[in-house]
């Protein structure tokens, strides 16, 4: 099965269109005001208008109310909702869009960590409600940190999820091929790993065309392995 690719944190229509033309299956728009990648309704609508009909448009929310999510999804034309905060499962049950729930995995979590049971409890609470679970490194900014976690935990964490999970956190053009070959995730999600870099500093919210191209090529190569 081909690995799907979601590119998140887009803020400009031209870069979103470039991502689609390179082969991205989904793009992510951030509706979390504290994020440097946050977009307004008008910005999001402009991006949504340029997307091909077959590309998913995912809206990322952090601890927003059901009404805010519903109103934003309808105004923009979102296809999926990604919940990246501490939302209760009951919130998803009232939404009219497929839900992707982010599972934040601490960077120092190991098979022997006491915190492993807490992550497992969150997975159990959400796995029958969300369409997919997205595994990302825990961070103060609720994602987009570029940090990773111990991918060796994933076989146990994803057991029983079938194709309903996404690998995120710390992926970039240099390591995504290795990750896909080793873990065979149904989908990978990238944000900071394909952003523009100026003098060693990421320009958050601006995507690098070449990085996106190499990232997608690496995924395709892994699929062919």
Residue-wise pLDDT tens digits, 63-92: 999 999 999 999 999 999 999 999 999 999
Question: Do 192 and 30 form a contact (C-beta atoms < 8 A)?
Answer: no
- Among 8, 20, 57, 187, which one carries the catalytic annotation? 8
Active site residue: 25, 136, 138, 189, which one? 136
The low-confidence residues of the chain, meaning pLDDT below 50, are: none
Name the DSSP letter for residue 193.
G
146 neighbors 178 (Cβ within 8 angstroms): no
Separation CA 64–CA 132 (nearest Å): 19
pLDDT of the residue at 149: 86
CATH topology of domain 4-224: TIM Barrel (3.20.20)
Q: What is the pLDDT of residue 225?
A: 87
Q: Check residue 221 and give its pLDDT.
A: 97
pLDDT recorded at residue 141: 53
Please say whether the beta carbons of 73 and 66 come within 8 A: no
Each residue of 2-31: pLDDT tens digit? 999 999 999 999 999 999 999 999 999 999
Element (H, E) at 71: helix 66-76
20 classed as catalytic: no
189 counts as catalytic: no
With beta carbons less than 8 A apart as the criterion, state whether 225 and 3 touch. Answer: no
């Amino acid at each position: 099965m081909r690995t799907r690719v979601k590119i998140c944190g887009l803020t400009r229509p031209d870069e979103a269109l470039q991502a689609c033309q390179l082969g991205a299956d989904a793009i992510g728009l951030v509706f979390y005001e504290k994020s440097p990648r946050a977009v307004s309704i008008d910005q999001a609508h402009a991006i949504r208008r340029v997307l091909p009909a077959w590309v998913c448009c995912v809206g990322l929310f952090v601890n927003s109310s059901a009404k805010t999510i519903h109103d934003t999804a309808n105004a923009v034309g979102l296809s999926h909702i990604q919940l990246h905060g501490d939302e209760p499962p009951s919130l998803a049950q009232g939404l009219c869009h497929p839900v992707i729930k982010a599972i934040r995995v601490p960077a120092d979590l190991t098979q022997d960590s006491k915190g492993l049971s807490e992550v497992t409890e969150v997975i159990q609470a959400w796995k029958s409600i969300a369409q997919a679970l997205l595994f990302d490194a825990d961070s103060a900014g609720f994602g987009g940190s570029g940090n990773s976690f111990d991918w060796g935990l994933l076989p146990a964490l994803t057991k029983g999820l079938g194709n309903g999970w996404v690998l995120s956190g710390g992926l970039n053009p240099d390591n995504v091929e290795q990750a896909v070959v080793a873990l065979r995730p149904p989908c990978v999600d990238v944000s900071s790993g394909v952003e523009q870099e100026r003098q060693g500093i990421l320009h958050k919210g601006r995507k690098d065309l070449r990085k996106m191209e190499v990232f997608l090529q690496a995924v395709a190569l892994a699929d062919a392995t």
